[in-house]
Amino acid sequence: MLLAYKTALASSRVRATAIESTEFPTLAAEMDVWAVPRIVVNGAPQWDGSVPEAVFLSRILSATFE
């Protein structure tokens, strides 16, 4: 989660929200959350699990959600 926050702090084009899955089960079900952390970019699920900074940035910047 911290990497997402750091990314949002470093770029005005990025926003980062942690969502507590058990409190918002409807949205978690919509996003097919089975494992955490699940990373979703612009409403499109991307991957599950923690990754190193370089991988996180690379995946975020190349995320597809159209």
Partner 1 sequence: MAIFRPEDEERIRERFDALDRPVELVVALGPEETPLPGHADVDFGAETVRIVDELCSLSDRVTYRVEHDAPGLERFPAVLICPEGEDVGLRYDGLPWGHELGSLVGAVLEAGRAQSSLRPESLEALAELDRDLAIDVFVTPT
**Contact positions vs partner 1 (CB under 8 A):** 1-2, 4-28, 31, 33, 36-43, 53-54, 57, 60-61, 63
Q: How far is the CB of 60 from partner 1 (least distance, A)?
A: 6
Q: How far is the CB of 11 from partner 1 (least distance, A)?
A: 4
Strand partners, 47: 39
Query: Would you state the structure tokens that stand for residue 6, as one six-digit string?
Result: 């750091």
Q: How far is the CB of 49 from partner 1 (least distance, A)?
A: 11
Query: Would you state the structure tokens that stand for residue 51, as one six-digit string?
Result: 């990754």
Q: How far apart are CA 44 and CA 66, in angstroms?
A: 8
